Structure 1
Amino acid sequence: MSLNTTVKNRIAALVATPALNSLLALAARALMAFIFIMAGYGKITDYAGTAGYMTSMGVPEFLLPLVILVEFGGGIALLIGFQTRIAAGALAGFCVISGFIFHATPDQQIMLAKNLALAGGLLAFVRTGAGRPSVDGE
Structure 2
Amino acid sequence: MNIFNPFSNNTILANTSVLLARFGLSAIFILAGLNKVQYFEGNAQYMASAGLPSELLPLVIAFELVGGLLILSGLLSRVTALAFAGFSIVSAVLFHANLADQIQFIMFFKNIAIAGGFLMLAAHGAGQWSIDQVLSNNKNIPK
Q: Normalising TM by the smaller chain, what interval?
A: 0.7 to 0.9
TM-score normalised per structure 1: 0.87
Over the residues paired in the alignment, what is the CA RMSD in angstroms? 1.7
| Match among 69, 91, 100 for residue 76 of structure 1 | 69
Aligned residue type for 2:61: I
Query: Deviation at 1:6?
Result: 5.0
- SS of the aligned residue for 2:46 comes to helix
- SS of the aligned residue for 1:136 comes to helix
Identity across matched positions, percent: 42
Structure 1 residues 6, 23: closer, same or farther in 2, change over 3 A?
closer
Name the residue aligned to 2:49.
56
| Match among 110, 113, 132 for residue 128 of structure 2 | 132
Which blocks of at least 5 consecutive residues in structure 2 are unaligned? 137-143
- SS of the aligned residue for 1:8 comes to coil
| 1-structure distance, mates of 2:87, 2:48 | 17
- SS of the aligned residue for 1:78 comes to helix
| Match among 107, 110, 116 for residue 114 of structure 1 | 110
Q: 1:89-130 CA deviation, whole Å, 9 max, x = no partner? A: 111111000111100012111110110111011001111111
TM-score normalised per structure 2: 0.84
Q: 1:15-54 CA deviation, whole Å, 9 max, x = no partner? A: x423222211111100111111111110011111111111
Number of matched pairs:
131
Which blocks of at least 5 consecutive residues in structure 1 are unaligned? none
| 1-structure distance, mates of 2:109, 2:11 | 33
